[in-house]
Amino acid sequence: MTVARTEISDVRLPPDARVIPEWISPAEETALAGYLDAGEWSGELRRRVRHFGYRYDYRARIATPQSRIGPLPDMLQRLGRRMVEEGIFASLPDQVIANEYLPGQGISAHVDCEPCFGDVIVSLSLLSPCQMQFRRVETGEKRAVILRPRSLLVLEGAARHDWTHAIPARRSDRIDGVQVMRGRRVSLTFRTMRF
Ligand SMILES: O=C(O)CCC(=O)C(=O)O
Ligand SMILES: [Fe+2]
């Protein structure tokens, strides 16, 4: 018996995921990237990261009350408040990770820690586009979408719990039928701690 390979069909999100384009202005994007670059990026992974609110332990794959760093910086707090005002989060996000992806870098397939983080995961994209791939754990079904700068990706329900998400570690993506070289991308992922 031959098993049909599931093809990635572009511009398709898993159920319970949505993208809000141009959620911030280009000026806000520049200010956020400037703020992140003015602080210290951590080199603990292949890609650089910055943690806010609570530190996430990549080896143990958890964030705990003991890992508290402090309140979110004002700039991130303001964005979190806006997400609550817009009904994206029911309560203020209190944990944020900034990820930096240079061309060739990605993030392997994962479901964000279920015991640690609440039911809504939001990723704000800055600077340059890249593809995100989704895979339904139960069936292997694949979907993919291009995350554009200044857009917000909201994962909840099935998209948050039943599908993995990943960014392939490569140097270009096919966008609107054209192969586009990647630039530096920075993302900010907002979460609520589950305790
Ligand atoms: O870079 C992104 O948009 C996603 C980051 C992510 O999946 C995570 O931090 O858990
Ligand atoms: Fe994630």
Structure tokens at 5: 């390979």
pLDDT score for 192 = 97
Closest listed residue to residue 125, CA positions, set 151, 99, 144, 156: 151
pLDDT score for 145 = 95
Q: Tokens 């609440």 — which residue?
A: 118
Task: Give the CB-side neighbour count of residue 35, counting CA atoms within 13 A.
Answer: 17
pLDDT score for 31 = 98
pLDDT score for 9 = 42
Ligand 1 close to Cβ of residue 105 (< 6 A): no
Whose atoms come closest to the Cα of 190: which ligand?
A: 1
> What atom of ligand 1 comes closest to residue 123's alpha carbon?
3
Distances (CA, A) of 52 to 41, 71, 157, 192: 11, 8, 24, 12
State the DSSP string of the chain.
-PPPPPPPBSS-PPTTEEEETT-S-HHHHHHHHHHHHHSPPB-SSSSEEEEESB--BTTTTB--GGGB--SPPHHHHHHHHHHHHTTS-SS---EEEEEEE-TT--EEEE---TTTB-S-EEEEEESS-EEEEEEETTT--EEEEEEPTT-EEEE-HHHHHTEEEEE---SEEEETTEEEE---EEEEEEE-B--
Measure 66 CA to ligand 2 centroid, in angstroms.
21
Each of the 195 residues of the chain gets a pLDDT tens digit; together they read 555 554 444 458 999 999 999 999 999 999 999 999 999 999 888 899 999 999 998 988 899 989 999 999 999 999 999 999 999 999 999 999 999 999 999 999 999 999 999 999 999 999 999 999 999 999 999 999 999 999 999 999 999 999 999 999 999 999 999 999 999 999 999 999 997
Instruction: From 23, 99, 125, give the residue whose CB has the most ligand 1 atoms within 8 Å, as the site to mutate.
Output: 99
Measure 53 CA to ligand 1 centroid, in angstroms.
16
Global confidence as pTM: 0.93
Topology adopted by domain 17-191: Jelly Rolls (2.60.120)
The count of other CB atoms within 10 Å of the CB of residue 126 is 21
Q: Tokens 């910055």 — which residue?
A: 50
Give the tens place of pLDDT for each residue, 9-59: 445 899 999 999 999 999 999 999 999 999 999 988 889 999 999 999 898
pLDDT score for 59 = 86
Domain chopping of the chain, boundaries? 17-191
Instruction: From 51, 108, 123, give the residue whose CB has the most ligand 1 atoms within 8 Å, as the site to mutate.
Output: 123
